[in-house]
């Protein structure tokens, strides 16, 4: 082991027994554990956030399999690298099995042509593909590859799992075991929690803390909570405005407003702001929620939301966060009605799929003199000429008479 390599690299497991966490997919009774142990792998797509163990799992597979193992990074590799790996796999002198396991890190960075180049070799069994991605593979990976692979969703590691890995690194000579380190379990757990499920962040932070702290008079490197806080810097966020979490977070934000939970609303708003989300995009979502979910239960919500969008455009960030918070919380606290939303959806469905008939002649417009002779506008009753400014007359086409689109609910007070 090269001790000049980062601690996160040195502490990667080499066997399934050393692998910590992800029991839901690699526990001893799980199919992935059994297929790795039996060396009967089919193509896999490992999907999960950074630092959750995708590359570590691939390394375990490389140490377990009898097949030739080739690793490529989609950032630097191309079609020529894929063809080279296939040629070597098919060379019976270099590789008697005639197939290889091809691990492609960040496979979502391959374009369509590069992914298509993999397909025939995956299909004929020459290549057993293991792709690792932080992005939703159902959006980013060729559907033909997806259909020929098992998609495995990995979760952020639990603090308890990260704590165990940190503890092991202090005892392992290939880790930090050659240093005289004093650190409380509570401090280690703080690192584990602060890393937000990313073991790489946790190990790198611990290593920085150790390497930058001088020994005390007793010859120990004493790592305190204060030193750890300086080493870790800003808390790792799980939000990526360009990644899959963008969709998850904005969905949670909208559903929290719809669900009238102001605390959850402002929490997901904060995640979005911290992750660098476009404030105008957030403002537009508040405007939409004000109309779709609040609607006629509180029409003023749309006025507030629209004013907030204009104010954010004028003021900008960081002060815009206050405006966004006010508008989002206002929408969350408002009574809800989706009657207008449902009404237009039903009407659009009818207009696009049914023979809805013709507009009644009496409510058509006689734009040119003489058109009234053909019935245009004839018999129209002007509502303001009647008591209460309302008069009974037919507005819907004959074929649509009796159709109800708008259903007034208990939150609409008008």
Residues 45 and 133 in one domain: yes
pTM of the model: 0.67
- 41 within domain boundaries: yes
Residues 308 and 362 in one domain: no
Using CA atoms, how far residue 253 sits from 137, 197, 313, in Å, is: 23, 22, 20
Write down which residue in 109, 135, 153 finishes a domain: 153
pLDDT digits (tens, 9 = 90+) for 202-216: 999 999 999 989 888
**CATH assignment at residue 212:** 1.10.8.60
Whether 144 has a pLDDT exceeding 80, the answer reads yes
Q: Which domain holds residue 56?
A: 22-153
Name the range with the highest mean pLDDT among 3-7, 96-100, 313-317: 313-317
- 142 within domain boundaries: yes
Dist CA 202 CA 267 (whole Å): 24
Whether 231 has a pLDDT exceeding 60, the answer reads yes
Instruction: Please tell me the total count of domains within the chain.
Output: 4
Identify each DSSP E strand in 50-194 by its residue range: 68-73, 100-105, 127-133, 150-153, 181-183
Residues 140 and 175 in one domain: no
Average pLDDT for 351-377: 83
pLDDT digits (tens, 9 = 90+) for 39-82: 888 899 999 888 898 999 988 988 888 888 888 998 888 899 88
Dihedral of the alpha carbons of 223, 230, 177, 166, in degrees to the nearest 10 = 100
Residues 114 and 44 in one domain: yes
Contact 185, 24 (CB under 8 A): no
- 252 within domain boundaries: yes
- 16 within domain boundaries: no
Whether 238 has a pLDDT exceeding 60, the answer reads no
pLDDT digits (tens, 9 = 90+) for 287-316: 999 999 999 999 999 999 999 999 999 999
Whether 166 has a pLDDT exceeding 60, the answer reads yes
- 259 within domain boundaries: yes
Predicted local confidence at residue 243, as pLDDT: 58
Contact 168, 175 (CB under 8 A): yes
Average pLDDT for 128-138: 89
Closest CA to 103 of 130, 85, 83, 65: 130
Closest CA to 179 of 216, 147, 228, 146: 216
């Amino acid at each position: 082991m090269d001790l000049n390599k980062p601690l996160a690299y040195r502490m990667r497991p080499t066997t399934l027994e050393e692998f910590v966490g992800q029991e839901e997919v690699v526990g001893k009774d799980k199919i992935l554990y059994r297929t790795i142990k039996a060396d009967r792998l089919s193509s896999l797509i490992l999907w999960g956030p950074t630092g959750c163990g995708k590359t570590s799992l691939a390394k375990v597979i490389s140490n377990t399999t009898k097949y030739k193992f080739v690793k490529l990074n989609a950032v630097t590799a191309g079609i020529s690298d894929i063809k080279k790996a296939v040629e070597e796999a098919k060379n019976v002198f270099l590789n008697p099995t005639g197939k290889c396991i091809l691990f492609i890190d960040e496979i979502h960075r391959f374009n369509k042509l590069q992914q298509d180049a993999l397909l025939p070799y995956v299909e004929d069994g020459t290549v057993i593909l293991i792709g690792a991605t932080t992005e939703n593979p159902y959006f980013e990976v060729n559907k033909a590859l997806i259909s020929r692979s098992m998609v495995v969703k990995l979760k952020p590691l639990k603090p308890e799992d990260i704590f165990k890995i940190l503890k092991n690194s202090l005892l392992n000579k290939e880790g930090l075991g050659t240093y005289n380190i004093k650190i409380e379990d509570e401090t280690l757990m703080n690192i584990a929690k602060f890393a937000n499920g990313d073991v790489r962040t946790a190990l790198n932070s611990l290593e920085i803390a150790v390497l930058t702290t001088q020994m005390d008079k007793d010859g120990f490197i004493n790592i305190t909570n204060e030193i750890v806080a300086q080493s870790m810097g800003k808390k790792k966020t799980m939000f990526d405005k360009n990644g899959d979490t963008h969709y998850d977070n904005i969905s949670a934000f909208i559903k929290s407003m719809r669900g009238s939970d102001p605390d959850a609303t402002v929490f997901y708003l904060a995640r979005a702001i911290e992750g660098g989300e476009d404030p105008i995009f957030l403002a537009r979502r508040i405007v939409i929620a004000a109309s779709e979910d609040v609607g006629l239960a509180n029409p003023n919500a749309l006025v507030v939301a629209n004013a907030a969008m204009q104010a954010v455009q004028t003021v900008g960030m960081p002060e815009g966060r206050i405006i966004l918070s006010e508008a989002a919380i206002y929408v969350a606290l408002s009574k809800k009605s989706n009657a207008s939303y449902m009404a237009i959806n039903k009407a659009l469905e009818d207009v696009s799929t049914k023979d809805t008939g013709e507009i009644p002649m009496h409510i058509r417009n006689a734009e040119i003199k003489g058109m009234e002779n053909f019935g245009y506008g004839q018999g129209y009753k002007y509502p303001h000429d009647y008591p209460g400014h309302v008069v009974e007359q037919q507005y819907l086409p004959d074929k649509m008479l009796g159709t109800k689109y708008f259903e007034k609910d208990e939150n609409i007070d008008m």
